[in-house]
A and B are shown apart, each in its own frame.
Chain A
Amino acid sequence: MKAEANGHPVIQLDEMSKTYHTGEVDVHAVRGVSLTVKPGEFLAIMGASGSGKSTMMNIIGCLDRPTGGRYLLDGVDVNDLNRDELALLRNQKLGFVFQGFNLLSRTSALENVELPMLYNRDGMSSREQRERGLKALEMVGLSDRADHHPNQLSGGQQQRVAIARSLVNEPKLLLADEPTGNLDSHTSIEIMGIFQKLNRQGMTVVMVTHELDIARYTMRNVVMRDGRVVSDVPVANRLDAADELEKLRAEQQAIQLAP
């Protein structure tokens, strides 16, 4: 999970565009976006709904292909790949975290984490899969919940299982689509803390969010409107999740101590 020593960016978008043909109308979801994300960056893509950020996310996540321009993921041109090669790329280089957690219900946390390894072409032994799964759960602080099913876990815990799942195949890039959208503010900060920790260890993280305060935990904010990037700035007063949690705790104590 170390940052790439060699120079090429994790994400390189050149005039990338995506047009959907729905009926007689062409919908231009993304209109020529150029964006470079270097290893070790922590990026938030922001924008109102309809701004094209979800489409961007789908393309960066290799769930969809651009209709124009180029997309290089870790130096690989995605346009030339077929469905199965895209699946391999998602398996090996990408980790997904979704707003709705998207865990398999009635399957234990550990088994959820092991899922990407099931589709790993390296042919790992089931013991090795188990060990790696437990290691990933430990990384998000949930090793004691390995046998719990998603419905026995809180939202924050479920999202942490999802993060563990995204890490288990040691990806190049972590993609989070509104990861705090279904969580309360305290849990949201905890989740951001995990992302910050991973980022400090060298993981490149790209996150879509529409919450301004959540975006302040990242290093760089890209704002989109109508399928174009309208601003791309580094975060000035970056928040640290550990500090914020400490502040919250102090505030709560103050309230409790108040007469």
Chain B
Amino acid sequence: MIIFATLRMSIRALRRNTLRTLLTMLGIIIGVGAVIAMVSIGNGAKAQVEAQIASLGQNVILVMSGNFSRGGFAMGFGSMPTLTKEDYESIRREVSGVAASSPEVRTAAQIAVGSQNINSSILGVGDEYPDVRSWPIASGAIFTEQDVRGANKVAVIGKTTATTLFGEGDPVGQIIRIKNAPFVVTGLLSSKGMSMMGQDQDDIVLVPYTSAMKRLSGVTTFRSFQIKSVSSEAVTEVQQQITDLLRQRHKIEPGKDDDFLVRTQQEITQTATEASRVMTLLLGSIASVSLLVGGIGIMNIMLVSVTERTREIGIRLAVGARSRDILLQFLIEAIALSLVGGILGIFLGMGGSTLVSSKMGWATLISMDSIVISFLFSGAIGIFFGFYPARKAAQLDPIDALRYE
């Protein structure tokens, strides 16, 4: 028997009971929709993480100060003051393959201009910081090396800080007061937008690290160094040199743990994408459970349908249908059910993920892969869950089937 004729027959059978067909498909619709929406949310998060890490700058190596632990609790890297100015200077001096570098100290303080004030985070950095982070200056310039050496009261401010303090006017050349000390604004950073944690990255003030340590926070050690290598090939080499140098400077005996942490951008990317991959997988597998339930729904209705249509099967067998014709008929019906459900589910998933991204502001990314896979998967569900009822129909005895009331 021609597949096409069977398909037409199956679609007619399904249209005969539209409500039941729709309810049966609902499981698959929701299942596929959930998988697509969940995977798109996971992929969106992953893409965002990747973009975030790329925004750290190219070929960046991060050196964090040691892991301070007290009573068995690790406080996280950066909590122990192990990175000194001398460490930084020796890295600058002795490590080859460094394109640009900057140390970083962090503090927060009230910043005021006239009656306006804002509580921005203040980063004490070197003059190469915008270069390391690939973060261009929009207007004016970064402070100079002399400013750093002299611990001058100069600052470069972010977009949000500038807008809050100066409105739309150009902040370059203006004076801002940080902890009551007047700082001259030398430049305005270009806008970077929200971070993935939802922080405004433009609410920031960069000052020379010397000024920050001496005039603002009083700390003498750094939270981290950010070092940009000359090329992506040189990253590992530079990382090794830094590790060796710092172990030597910190007099760490062989076999003992580092009191600092050197991470390349690739390593950070890997960790983060692995985390979001696991999240995508988790969301996807929870959603697939509903696909499974949908498949069982199809099997259930197909079994009912086979019983209801026993007489029809008997008639078909009597006029010469072979077992495989009957099998094919019911199998195609189940596959049609699940595929149409799958297509509707794809639309539902796309709609759902668009809704999520517009209403909740989450990044979503619908991949062609997830659409193709869920379409094929719903077809496979049709075959898997349709096979048993179809086989049951095909194995009916023609006499019993004809006699069935």
Contact = CB atoms under 8 A, between A and B. Distances in A.
Interface of A: 58, 61, 63-64, 83-84, 87-88, 90-92, 96, 98, 102-104, 106, 115-116, 118-120, 123, 126, 165, 169
A97 B341 CA distance: 39
B44 to A, nearest CB: 47
9 contacts: A63-B399, A84-B322, A88-B322, A91-B319, A102-B311, A102-B314, A102-B318, A116-B320, A165-B319
Contacts of A92: 320
Contacts of A87: 317, 320-323
B316 interface: yes
Given A84-B323, A90-B320, A92-B320, 13 more contacts: A58-B399, A63-B317, A83-B322, A83-B323, A84-B322, A90-B318, A102-B311, A102-B314, A102-B315, A115-B316, A123-B2, A126-B5, A165-B319
A102 B16 contact: no
Interface of B: 1-2, 5, 9, 16, 311-312, 314-325, 398-399, 402
Contacts of A165: 319
Contacts of A88: 320, 322
Contact of A90 (B312, B319, B399): B319
Contacts of B402: 63, 98, 102
Nearest to B405: A100
A91 B311 CA distance: 18
A120 B5 CA distance: 12
B132 to A, nearest CB: 73
Contacts of B2: 123
A84 B319 CA distance: 12
Nearest to A175: B318
Given A58-B399, A63-B399, A118-B5, A104 B321 contact: no
Given A84-B323, A91-B320, A102-B315, A64 B5 contact: no
Residue in A58, A63, A104 with the greatest tally of chain B CB atoms within 10 Å = A63
B16 A119 contact: no
B318 A119 contact: no
A104 B398 CA distance: 15
Contact of A119 (B312, B320, B398): B320
Given A63-B398, A98-B402, A116 B16 contact: no
A83 B325 CA distance: 12
A125 to B, nearest CB: 10
A123 B1 CA distance: 8
Residue in B9, B315, B402 with the greatest tally of chain A CB atoms within 10 Å = B315
Contact of B321 (A61, A102, A119, A123): A119
A119 B325 contact: yes
B399 A104 contact: no
Contacts of B322: 83-84, 87-88, 119
A169 B315 CA distance: 15
Contacts of B325: 119
A119 B316 contact: yes
Instruction: List the 6 shortest-distance A-B pairs measured between CB atoms, nearest first.
Output: A91-B320, A116-B319, A119-B320, A84-B322, A87-B322, A90-B320
A171 to B, nearest CB: 10
Given A104-B312, A119-B1, A64 B319 contact: no
Contacts of A90: 318-320
Contacts of A118: 1, 5, 9, 321
B320 A104 contact: no
B76 to A, nearest CB: 71
Contacts of B315: 102-104, 115
Contacts of A64: 399
Given A63-B398, A63-B399, A119-B325, A106 B16 contact: yes
Contacts of A119: 1, 316, 319-322, 325
